[in-house]
Structure 1
Amino acid sequence: MGYRRNKEALALVLLLGAVTAMAQDHKKFVVVPKGIYEVGKSTSTQNPLRKVTVDSFRIAIYETTNREFAAFVAATGYITDAEKQHNALVFEPGLDEFRWKNDSTAYWRYPNGVSRGGINDRMNHPVTCISYRDVQAYCTWAGVRLPTLDEWEIACRAGTHTNYFFGNDDRSIKTYANVWHGHDHKKADYSDGYMYTSPVGHFKPNAWGLYDMYGNVFEFCTGKLTPSERPSIAHARGGSWWCSSSACHAFNSYSIGQVHVHASFSNQGFRVVEK
Structure 2
Amino acid sequence: MGFLKKVSTALLVLGSYCCFAQTPGGYVLVPAGNYHVGGHRHMLNPARRVTVDSFYISVYETTNRQFAAFVAATGYITNAEQRHDALVFAPGLREFEWNNDSTACWRFPNGVSAGGIENKMEHPVTCISYNDAVAYCKWAGVRLPTLDEWEIASRAGTATTYFFGEKKASIGRYANIWHGKDHLQADSSDGYLYTAPVGSFQPNAWGLYDMYGNVFEFCSGKIKPDESPTLAHARGGSWWCSQASCSFFNSVDIGRVHKRASFSNQGFRTVK
TM-score by length of 2: 0.92
CA distance in 2 between partners of 1:32 and 1:232 (Å): 29
Mapping 1:193-272, distance limit 5 Å: 193-272=191-270
CA distance in 1 between partners of 2:223 and 2:74 (Å): 33
Report the RMSD for the aligned CA atoms in angstroms: 1.4
Deviations 1:145-190 (A, max 9, x none): 0000000000000011111000111110000000000000000000
The structure 2 residue matched to 1:110, chosen from 100, 105, 108, is 108
Task: State the aligned residue count.
Answer: 256
Structure 1 stretches of 4+ moved >6 Å: none
| Gap runs ≥5 in structure 1 | 1-17
CA distance in 2 between partners of 1:121 and 1:21 (Å): 21
The amino acid of 2:256's aligned partner reads Q
Task: Indicate the residue corresponding to 1:14 in structure 2.
Answer: none
Deviations 1:58-111 (A, max 9, x none): 000000000000000000000000000000000000101000000000000000
CA distance in 2 between partners of 1:179 and 1:116 (Å): 20
Counterpart contact for 2:40–2:46, Cα < 8 Å: yes
Compute the displacement of 1:19 (Å): 7.8
The amino acid of 1:189's aligned partner reads D
The structure 2 residue matched to 1:73, chosen from 71, 74, 92, is 71
CA distance in 2 between partners of 1:19 and 1:37 (Å): 34
Task: Indicate the residue corresponding to 2:184 in structure 1.
Answer: 186
The amino acid of 1:124's aligned partner reads E
1:33 matched to 2:34? The reply is no
TM-score by length of 1: 0.91
Counterpart contact for 2:6–2:24, Cα < 8 Å: no
| Gap runs ≥5 in structure 2 | 9-21
Task: Name the larger-Rg structure.
Answer: 1
CA distance in 2 between partners of 1:45 and 1:84 (Å): 36
CA distance in 1 between partners of 2:171 and 2:97 (Å): 24
Task: Indicate the residue corresponding to 2:12 in structure 1.
Answer: none
Compute the displacement of 1:21 (Å): 5.4
Counterpart contact for 2:5–2:24, Cα < 8 Å: no
CA distance in 1 between partners of 2:264 and 2:28 (Å): 27
CA distance in 2 between partners of 1:251 and 1:84 (Å): 30
CA distance in 1 between partners of 2:5 and 2:179 (Å): 34
Report SS of the residue matched to 1:259.
Answer: strand
CA distance in 2 between partners of 1:125 and 1:45 (Å): 33
Higher normalized helix content (fraction of residues): 1
Identical-residue share of aligned pairs (%): 68
